[in-house]
Amino acid sequence: MSIRNKVQLVGHVGQTPDIKNFGDSGKLARFSLATNEGYRSKNGEWVDNTIWHNLIGWRFVAERIEKQVQKGTYVMVEGRLVNRDYTDKDNVKRYITEVEVRSFMVLDKKSSKGSKDTAQRVNNTRDFYKAPVDDDGLPF
């Protein structure tokens, strides 16, 4: 049986994505996404909790992110969790968890980049870009 690593988030982009080009091997888009959760405290008061997520997108997804996403854009993303580690400049090992975006859809009714046809694109399922994924390992 294959177990899937899948994440779905809806939120606002925290900053304009950082795009890195790697020549013929593709692009990388890196940005943060804020999601909000609410709950009632012990006092009965409503509390809003914002959670920040680190997101990355590769190749074709990165190209679309570069064209359609900027700070404040309201998006739905699907992807998978990726854990990695690195050693910083002080020789300390750091760990990071990111969401590798496989597909996304801009949910804004008006494009933050000024496009007049975004409202039409949002209602079009073709706008929900899906990267090629091998589904042979699905248990159903």
Tens digit of pLDDT for each residue in 28-68? 999 999 999 988 889 999 999 999 999 999 999 999 999 99
For the cut 50, the answer to whether the pLDDT of residue 117 exceeds it is no
Mean pLDDT rounded to a whole number for the chain? 82
> 59 burial class (0-12, 13-18, 19+ CB within 10 angstroms)?
middle
Q: Is the pLDDT of residue 115 over 50?
A: no
Residue-level pLDDT at 108: 79
pTM for this predicted structure: 0.71
Q: Which CATH architecture has domain 7-39+46-130?
A: Beta Barrel (2.40)
Q: Which of 108, 96, 100 is nearest to 70 (CA)?
A: 108
